[in-house]
Amino acid sequence: MSKAATPSLSKYKTLTRAGIMEALTFRASYVISVLGNLVYLVVIYYLWKAIYASSNVDAVNGMTFSDTMIYLVLAAALGNFLETYLVWDIGYDIQTGRIVLNIIKPMDFQVYTFFNYSGKYLISFFTTFLPTFILVYLLTGGAIVIGINILFFMVGVILGLLINFCIDFFVATICLYTQSTWGINIMKEVIVMFVSGAVVPLAFFPEPLKTIVGYLPFQAIYNTPLQFLVNESLTVNKCIEMLLWQVFWMVLTLAASRLFWKKSLKIITVNGG
Partner 1 sequence: MKKRGISYYLHIYGKILVQDIKSKMSYRADFIISMIGMLFVNISGFLVFWITFQNFPSIKGWNYNEILFLYGFSLVALTPAQLFFDNNWNLRHYVYSGDFIKYCFRPINVFFYFISETFDIKGLSQFLFGSATLIYAWNKLGLDFSIIILIKVILALITASLFMIAMINISAATCFWILGSVFILMLVNKIKDYARYPVSIYNSVFRFIFTFLIPIAFIAYYPSLAFLRQNDIPVLTYLSPVIGILFFYTSYKIWMKGASSYTGTGS
The site for partner 1 (CB under 8 A) is made up of 28-29, 31-33, 35-36, 39-40, 42-43, 46-47, 49-55, 60-61, 177-180, 182-187, 190-191, 193-194, 199-200, 204-206, 209
Residue type, position 143, single letter: A
Least Å distance between CB 240 and partner 1?
30
C-beta of 8 vs 55, nearer to partner 1: 55
- Closest listed residue to residue 120, CA positions, set 192, 25, 261: 25
Q: What are phi and psi of 152, to 5 degrees?
A: -60, -40
Under DSSP, is residue 158 helix (H, G, I), strand (E, B) or coil?
A: helix
C-beta of 126 vs 194, nearer to partner 1: 194
Q: How many helices (H) and strands (E) are present in the chain, helices listed first?
A: 12, 0
Least Å distance between CB 205 and partner 1?
6
Sign, CA torsion 11/12/13/19: positive
- Closest listed residue to residue 243, CA positions, set 169, 167, 162: 162
Least Å distance between CB 168 and partner 1?
16
- Closest listed residue to residue 113, CA positions, set 158, 191, 172, 180: 172
Least Å distance between CB 32 and partner 1?
4
C-beta of 27 vs 263, nearer to partner 1: 27
C-beta of 10 vs 61, nearer to partner 1: 61
C-beta of 144 vs 199, nearer to partner 1: 199
Distance from C-alpha of 236 to C-alpha of 157, rounded to nearest angstrom: 17
**Residues sharing a CB contact under 8 Å with residue 24, sequence separation 6 or more, in sequence order:** 123
C-beta of 199 vs 234, nearer to partner 1: 199
Least Å distance between CB 61 and partner 1?
6
**Residues sharing a CB contact under 8 Å with residue 11, sequence separation 6 or more, in sequence order:** 107
Least Å distance between CB 49 and partner 1?
7
Alpha-carbon dihedral of residues 81, 86, 92, 93, nearest 10 degrees? 130
